[in-house]
Structure 1
Amino acid sequence: MIDGRGLLFSVLQIFMHKSAMQMHAREAAHRTEVKPHQCQQCLKSFSSNHQLVQHIRVHTGEKPYKCSYCDRRFKQLEPRPATHAPSHR
């Protein structure tokens, strides 16, 4: 317990650079994030239903977004592959 707040630390970590400590803090926050939306096929969990819907396209192969210049289709509206847009300039 630290400072009487009930925080438990399993490992003491020492960081040589402030940026490494900040990255560790961000990663730790993601590990404790509640992710109630779970894929029924692979059991991967997501924090929002929108993320789950996008992920399910990995399993179904659905590509609902079409390029307005050609017939190529995409799983996500943005970002599109950087190699695609230059072909229409």
Structure 2
Amino acid sequence: EGPHVCEECGQAFQNSRGLARHRPVHRSEQPFVCDQCGKAFQNSRGLAQHHYMHRTERPHVCEECSKAFKSV
């Protein structure tokens, strides 16, 4: 089994699974949608990484000390 090359961009992968994961990059399909902000992703891994951002964001900044907090 030789290298698996994307016909769209020429990027090579060691196995067919890598190529299969790569293929959606060339399509506009983004079926994984964040229920908190509506941002869409091509795969569940991207959505999971994005969800982590929501858990760690601190949008409220104190005007006195500049510390950030999750809630007021």
User: What's the TM-score once normalised by structure 1's chain length?
Assistant: 0.42
Larger Rg, first or second structure (1 or 2): 1
Higher strand share: 2
Q: Which gives a bigger RCO, structure 1 or 2 (Cα 8 Å, sep 6+)?
A: 2
